[in-house]
Amino acid sequence: MRKIILTGDRPTGRLHIGHYVGSLRQRVELQNSGLYDMIFIMIADAQALTDNIDNPEKVRQNIIEVALDYLACGLDSTKSTLFVQSQISELFELSFYYMNLVTVSRLQRNPTIKMEIKMRNFGKNIPVGFFTYPISQAADITAFKATTVPVGEDQLPMIELTKEIVRKFNSLYGKVLVEPEALLPDNKACQRLPGIDGKSKMSKSLNNCIYLSDTADEVKKKVMNMYTDPNHLRVEDPGNVEGNPVFTYLDAFCKNEHFSRYFPEYNNLDELKEHYTKGGLGDVKVKKFLNAILQEELEPIRKRRAEFAKDIPEVYNILKKGNYMAREVAANTLAEVKSAMKINYF
């Protein structure tokens, strides 16, 4: 079977280091591994509109920001197809047919949707489009017959639903669709990176992010102001590394070699954690270390971003070409779906 990747991001803001460790870094590795036959990376603007319907300008502007973040991280348009969801109308047709394969109560049980509805204070006024976006996500994934979907942990319920839709469709109409597998980063800290405020998820909507495009100064300021263990008041106090985002970021980014470069008093992260837990290690020192590591990782990304940003029309061209290729694949799947469903009258 062909190995195909589909994944994407909502253009609701620039991408942050949570996206980077949760999915982006792995995508680039997979792209460069040569193990995949096709890679589709989608800017999910139609999905972004489901909770931003009053702010289309925000979504429009962030399409280019997300595309720049992609290119800056090393996604390469000669190896991966970068495209914009709304431009592939076949996806919405598929979505409409899948809607009959899913029940309202099944959607209501989706823990990510539940949490997102609460976070957005929708109350009883949940937009139907927002509520059903997991179905639209199933359409996105299956349109490309994706076998692998690299995502953060919050997306697992969406992949589960996609599998159910595939099984239901194939059992009713014959084997047309392909069941995808989610691919999470191995490192637990990367599956759901917390915000700089200590909230459980760094998220554009929560305003608690370090963006890939932040300047060196902005990154430093954010790191130095990060939430840590609130009971670690004096240097001598014993500190807690669990639920302390500074240490979670170190779990996500730190390698042993960073110690010899920036913190030679320690050999590895375990030693650093041990000292912090025992007491006698101040937050400022740890934050300075984290800042050095982040700067090292983000500097080349910032530089490449600035290069690509010099030629925005070329970035739009990349997306236009991607749309064209994506549409061809999605149209083929839609034709197979319609024929399996006997909607091929003429």
Stretch that binds ligand ATP, among 7-15, 124-132, 274-282, 316-324 (CB under 6 A): 7-15
151 vs 178, beta carbon nearer ligand ATP = 151
How many binding residues for ligand ATP (CB under 6 A)? Answer: 18
| 157 within 8 A of 183, measured Cβ to Cβ | no
Angstrom CA distances, 144 to 53, 229, 235, stand at 27, 45, 54
Minimum distance from residue 134 beta carbon to ligand ATP (Å): 12
- Interface with ligand ATP (CB under 6 A), residue from 203, 208, 244, 248: 203
> Could you tell me the two tokens for 308?
């690509």
> Could you tell me the two tokens for 113?
């949707």
> Could you tell me the two tokens for 247?
């240490």
**Dist. CA 262–CA 228, nearest whole Å:** 21
**Dist. CA 227–CA 208, nearest whole Å:** 11
To which residue do tokens 């999470």 refer? Answer: 184
Angstrom CA distances, 89 to 94, 184, 264, stand at 9, 29, 55
**Dist. CA 124–CA 273, nearest whole Å:** 45
- Interface with ligand ATP (CB under 6 A), residue from 202, 210, 293, 294: 202
193 is a site residue for ligand ATP (CB under 6 A): yes
178 vs 183, beta carbon nearer ligand ATP = 183
List the x/- string, 146-185, binding to ligand ATP by CB under 6 A.
Answer: -----xx-xx------------------------------
Minimum distance from residue 272 beta carbon to ligand ATP (Å): 22
205 vs 240, beta carbon nearer ligand ATP = 205
- Interface with ligand ATP (CB under 6 A), residue from 101, 168, 197, 205: 205
- Residue 336's CB is within 10 A of a number of other CB atoms, namely 16
- Interface with ligand ATP (CB under 6 A), residue from 4, 5, 6, 10: 10
Minimum distance from residue 237 beta carbon to ligand ATP (Å): 29
- Interface with ligand ATP (CB under 6 A), residue from 4, 5, 6, 12: 12
- Interface with ligand ATP (CB under 6 A), residue from 4, 5, 6, 23: 23
9 is a site residue for ligand ATP (CB under 6 A): yes
- Interface with ligand ATP (CB under 6 A), residue from 5, 6, 18, 67: 18
25 is a site residue for ligand ATP (CB under 6 A): no
Cα atoms in the Cβ-side hemisphere of radius 13 Å centred on 311: 8
- Interface with ligand ATP (CB under 6 A), residue from 5, 14, 19, 258: 19
Angstrom CA distances, 164 to 47, 150, 153, 179, stand at 20, 18, 18, 9
> Could you tell me the two tokens for 48?
């972004």
Burial 155-175 (b: 16+ CB within 10 A, else e): bbbbbebbbebbeebeeebee
- Interface with ligand ATP (CB under 6 A), residue from 25, 201, 232, 305: 201
Query: Residue numbers of the site for ligand ATP (CB under 6 A)?
Result: 9-10, 12, 18-19, 22-23, 151-152, 154-155, 192-193, 201-205
